[in-house]
A = this chain, B = another copy of it.
Amino acid sequence: MPHTSRLHVPRPPSRPGEAPDFGYVRLSPAGAVARPDVAASAADMESLSVDLIRVLDDEHRAQGPWNPRLDVAELQVGLRYMLLTRVYDDRMLKTQRQGKISFYMKSTGEEAVAVAGTMALRPTDMLFPSYRQQGAYLVRGSALVDLMCQLLSNTRDMCKGRQLPVMYHSVPGRVFSISGNLATQFPQSVGWAMAAAIKGSDDLASSWIGEGSSAEADFHHALLFASVYRAPVILNVVNNQWAISTFQGYAGGEQRSFAARGPGYGIPGLRVDGNDFLAVYAATAWAAERARRGAGSTLLELVTYRAAAHSSSDDPSRYRPRDDADRWPLGDPVERLKQHLIALGEWSEERHQALAAELDARVAAAWKEATTYGTQTDGPRLDPDLMFEDVFKELPQHLKEQRDDMHRGRG
């Protein structure tokens, strides 16, 4: 039967043992892509979904109309958050390996997506991240200790022990709750933005999903509702090429870019170098201006690479070449912003090492503090009665009875 089959089956460019091949990634030179007015029609901006918006060139200089012309101070803040994200990720994976937390997911190689994508917004804008935007919480001021307490499900866990590690939220930081269900928050962010528009407020929503998750129905719901009501929302698809073991071709990336879905719905779709802090910042700022001007939503595809494993349960060497990440043509976002600052004369290897050491110490200190509020094995523990709360606003009779049952002895 397979011989005569006409079914097309996508295949990644390389498998374990083969040489990585990123020839399929369509590149544009830095500065080469035009920056239209935010109110231009989606139809007139279709090329943005094919080309790749890049600002930093190979000499680490910022080029072209998308250069957001940020202050040095702002660039340094961006570098700091990206590096903090990386240091945090590295250490937290280690704690998972030591059995101190049950699960972890890194964002290594994708730090610019969340950090620049958040810095380009106002603090009152609402964020709907997925599980790989830890940088957003940092930019929005979540304390490391608070994030770690969530990972530990300890007595200070913001989720009161109810969620897997990395399913953070932040009320003061305006970062929405997430769960393990992919893509569900994408159309919710559109509803949030619709409400902002109904209320006449100036705030917008920004939401992130992986390219694999764009296959879910909720991706369609989000684009459709955003288009029909011209909701002030930024819809980010983080194309890190992989969804666990599944190559982006299986989400439809073989035929067209993910940004290209936007124009079909009348929404501009921008293909952006996701490892270029400046490009991500500029594209986000452009989309934010569009939303605030009442011109509607924007779909951003952030082209990046999942340099690490999918999660602490995953081993990517089973399905892709080991040295893939090193060959990724868009480089590393931390390194690129660092080199840009060095090229500007505003940074150095020494300052970078010092910053890394400082952040590492901060993360270590925070971990130490976090563990005093309890770990999986030691120290104080959340009251199991909390299990029954927040199912409803008031505890109903049947849950009171079940709580009593629990008091009779667990297990």
Contact = CB atoms under 8 A, between A and B. Distances in A.
A302 to B, nearest CB: 17
Helix, strand, loop or mixed for chain A's interface? Answer: helix
A254 B265 CA distance: 9
Given A4-B200, A197-B6, A232-B6, A264 B254 contact: no
Interface in A158-203: 194, 197-200
Interface string A210-238: 00000101111100100111111000000
A73 interface: no
B252 A198 contact: no
A320 interface: no
Contacts of A220: 217, 219-220
Interface stretch (A7-15, A77-85, A133-141, A398-406): A7-15
A370 interface: no
Interface stretch (A17-25, A255-263, A274-282, A360-368): A255-263
A289 to B, nearest CB: 14
B200 A228 contact: no
Contacts of A3: 200
A231 B9 CA distance: 10
Given A198-B1, A200-B4, A261-B264, A224 B228 contact: no
Nearest to A214: B224
A206 to B, nearest CB: 17
A7 B266 contact: no
A249 interface: yes
Contacts of A256: 42-43, 263-266
A254 B283 CA distance: 25
A249 B266 CA distance: 12
Interface residues of A, number: 50
Given A8-B296, A261-B264, A221 B230 contact: no
Contacts of A262: 264
B229 A7 contact: yes
A29 interface: no
Contact of A249 (B198, B218, B228): B228
A65 interface: no
Nearest to A199: B1
A250 B228 contact: yes
A294 interface: yes
A8 B230 CA distance: 6
A239 to B, nearest CB: 14
Nearest to A292: B6
A50 B231 CA distance: 24
A409 to B, nearest CB: 37
A374 to B, nearest CB: 42
A5 interface: yes
Contacts of A198: 1-2, 5, 7
Given A6-B232, A7-B231, A200-B3, A265 B294 contact: no
Nearest to A231: B7
Contacts of A269: 264
Contacts of A218: 217
A228 B254 contact: yes
Given A8-B296, A215-B224, A254-B266, 6 more contacts: A2-B198, A4-B199, A8-B230, A228-B250, A252-B266, A264-B269
30 contacts: A1-B199, A4-B200, A5-B198, A6-B197, A6-B230, A7-B197, A7-B198, A8-B197, A8-B229, A8-B230, A42-B255, A42-B256, A46-B46, A215-B224, A217-B220, A217-B221, A227-B252, A227-B255, A228-B250, A228-B251, A228-B252, A228-B254, A252-B266, A255-B265, A256-B264, A256-B265, A262-B264, A263-B264, A264-B264, A264-B265
Top 6 closest A-B pairs, CB basis?
A: A255-B266, A4-B200, A217-B217, A264-B264, A220-B220, A8-B230
